[in-house]
């Protein structure tokens, strides 16, 4: 049976952290053989918010490829490419923009919330409003039927379906309506117990040294009610315990009882936890370090990915142009 085609995108903004890995990249890696995956580094999308800093974008793009390969993306299974290497994304974006009503864009929740949250950048641009139209173009260009998304991206996927429906209504059946792939991974809290996010400054970067990871983890928030060493703890409200549940599964029962009886202190608990996280990251870091040595090889691989992506994208774009009368 033919595998369903999956498209996903990730923006190259800053260092990849453990939360990114568990929240999205792990699903890509685990789904590589089940679907026919197209994995896109959304460099055009990052221009919507980082257009003032081209040098940083160049480096983060390269770093992100190294992260993804080190984390298990296999370019023989997944078509990995830079969005801007496939000009069909921009072309389809323009065509879709012709039929996308402005009110649909103003009501996308991420538009309003980002405009309110991000004060240090001027996001009052045409490109930023059109962000979800570009995302629709990414997905529809490959006629992907599956898109792995976190909750925050669901409105973008819904908008993609609405744009596909409107297009098909005007011009005939060109696009399938994509469905989400729900990712069921546990949410990894950040160092302060909130969601791990670069904008909160509470992340554990994949490419850090083991020493730095350890130092960050020793400063993690714990159960706020456990003020003194002999106070009993409540592991279910402690972010450190959430890490044990993912990276130290075998020892979870002992950690729980040790914490609740106050036999185990937070310092020891964190030290053990940091050790487990570093054990998990050690082979990934070694692979990543090797990859960063060979920029030429990475460039060659990304050119190959773009070629494979263009073969599919150009076919769709031909159908689209014919349909709209170009
Ligand atoms: N908007 C997505 C994010 O910030 C990235 C993205 C761009 C994407 N194009 C996509 C995700 C297409 C899925 C499909 O996470
Ligand atoms: Fe959290 Fe561990 Fe301290 Fe319990 S012992 S509160 S699980 S850090």
Instruction: Return the ligand 1 atom nearest residue 42 CA.
Output: 7
Q: Are 222 and 84 in a shared domain?
A: no
Q: Are 11 and 119 in a shared domain?
A: yes
Cα 104 to middle of ligand 1, angstroms: 18
Cα 162 to middle of ligand 2, angstroms: 47
Could you tell me if 276 and 54 are in contact, meaning their C-beta atoms sit under 8 angstroms apart? no
SS3 149: strand
Cα(10)–Cα(198) distance, rounded to whole angstroms?
14
- The single residue of 114, 121, 287, 308 carrying the catalytic annotation is 114
Domain extent, residue 51, equals 5-187+295-324
Cα 259 to middle of ligand 2, angstroms: 6
221 closest CA partner among 191, 246, 242, 201? 191
Residues with Cβ within 8 Å of residue 158, at least 6 apart in sequence: none
95 closest CA partner among 191, 11, 182, 163? 163
**Residue pointed to by tokens 């263009």:** 310
312 C-beta neighbours (distance < 10 Å), count: 19
Q: What ligand is nearest to the CA atom of residue 89?
A: 1
Residue located nearest, by CA, to atom 10 of ligand 1: 9
Q: Are 133 and 241 in a shared domain?
A: no
Instruction: Return the ligand 1 atom nearest residue 148 CA.
Output: 13
- The single residue of 26, 121, 198, 308 carrying the catalytic annotation is 198
Give CA separation, 272 vs 159, 196, 267, in Å. 45, 21, 9
Quick check: is 219 catalytic?
no
SS3 189: strand
pLDDT at 234: 96
Write out pLDDT tens, residues 65-98: 999 999 999 999 999 999 999 999 999 999 999 9
Number of structural domains in the chain: 2
pLDDT at 115: 80
Q: Are 222 and 91 in a shared domain?
A: no
Residue located nearest, by CA, to atom 3 of ligand 2: 266
CATH number at residue 258: 1.10.240.10
Q: Are 161 and 121 in a shared domain?
A: yes
pLDDT at 184: 65
DSSP labels for 297-320? HHHHHHHHHHHHHHHHHHHHHHHH
Cα(37)–Cα(39) distance, rounded to whole angstroms?
6
Instruction: Return the ligand 2 atom nearest residue 265 CA.
Output: 5
pLDDT at 185: 65
- Mean pLDDT over residues 213-232, rounded? 95
Q: What ligand is nearest to the CA atom of residue 40?
A: 1
Q: Are 316 and 284 in a shared domain?
A: no
Write out pLDDT tens, residues 227-284: 999 999 999 999 999 999 999 999 999 999 999 999 999 999 999 999 999 999 999 9
pLDDT at 1: 66
Write out pLDDT tens, residues 13-40: 788 999 999 988 998 999 899 999 999 9
CATH number at residue 120: 3.40.50.620
Residue 203 lies in a domain: no
175 closest CA partner among 185, 190, 162? 162
pLDDT classification of 53: cutoffs 50, 70, 90: confident
Q: Are 63 and 174 in a shared domain?
A: yes
Write out pLDDT tens, residues 92-151: 999 999 999 999 999 998 888 888 877 778 888 999 999 999 999 999 999 999 998 877
DSSP labels for 200-234? GT---BTTS-HHHHHHHHHT----TT--STTS---
Q: Are 269 and 304 in a shared domain?
A: no
Rg for the chain, CA atoms, rounded: 22
Quick check: is 198 catalytic?
yes
Write out pLDDT tens, residues 142-191: 999 999 887 788 999 999 999 999 999 999 999 999 999 876 666 789 99
Residue 47 lies in a domain: yes
Q: What angle do the packed helices 154-171 and 131-141 form, to 10 degrees?
A: 70
Cα 227 to middle of ligand 1, angstroms: 42
Q: Are 256 and 124 in a shared domain?
A: no
Quick check: is 112 catalytic?
no
Query: Is the confidence at residue 207, as pLDDT, over 90?
Result: yes
Cα(278)–Cα(32) distance, rounded to whole angstroms?
25
Residue 198 lies in a domain: no
Q: Are 162 and 250 in a shared domain?
A: no
* Residue 225 tokens, joined: 């009610």
């Amino acid at each position: 049976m033919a595998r369903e085609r999956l498209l996903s995108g990730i923006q190259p903004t800053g260092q990849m952290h453990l939360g990114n890995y568990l929240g999205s990249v792990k699903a890509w890696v685990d789904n590589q053989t089940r679907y026919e995956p197209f994995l896109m580094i959304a460099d055009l999308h990052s221009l919507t918010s980082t257009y003032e800093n081209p040098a940083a974008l160049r480096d983060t793009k390269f770093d992100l490829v190294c992260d993804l390969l080190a984390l298990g993306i296999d370019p023989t299974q997944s078509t990995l490419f830079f969005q801007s290497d496939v000009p069909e994304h921009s072309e389809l974006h323009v065509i879709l923009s012709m039929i996308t009503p402005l009110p649909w864009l103003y009501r996308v929740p991420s538009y309003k919330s980002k405009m309110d949250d991000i004060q240090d950048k001027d996001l009052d641009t045409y490109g930023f409003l059109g962000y979800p139209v570009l995302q629709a173009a990414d997905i529809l260009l490959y006629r992907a039927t599956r898109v792995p998304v976190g909750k925050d991206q669901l409105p973008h996927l819904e908008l993609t379906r609405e744009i596909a429906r409107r297009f098909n209504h005007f011009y005939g059946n060109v696009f399938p309506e994509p469905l989400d792939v729900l990712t069921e991974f546990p949410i990894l809290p950040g160092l302060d117990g909130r969601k791990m996010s670069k904008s909160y400054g509470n992340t554990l970067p994949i490419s850090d040294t083991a020493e730095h990871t350890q130092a960050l983890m020793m400063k993690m928030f714990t159960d706020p009610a456990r003020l003194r060493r002999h106070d009993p703890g409540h592991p279910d409200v402690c972010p450190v315990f959430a890490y044990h549940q993912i990276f130290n599964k075998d020892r979870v029962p002992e950690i729980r009882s040790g914490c609740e009886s106050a036999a185990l202190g937070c310092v020891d608990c964190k030290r053990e936890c940091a050790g487990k996280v570093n054990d998990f990251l050690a082979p990934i870091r070694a692979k990543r370090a090797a990859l960063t040595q060979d920029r030429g090889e990475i460039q060659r691989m990304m050119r190959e990915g773009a070629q494979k992506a263009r073969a599919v994208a150009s076919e769709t774009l031909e159908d689209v142009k014919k349909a709209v009368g170009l």
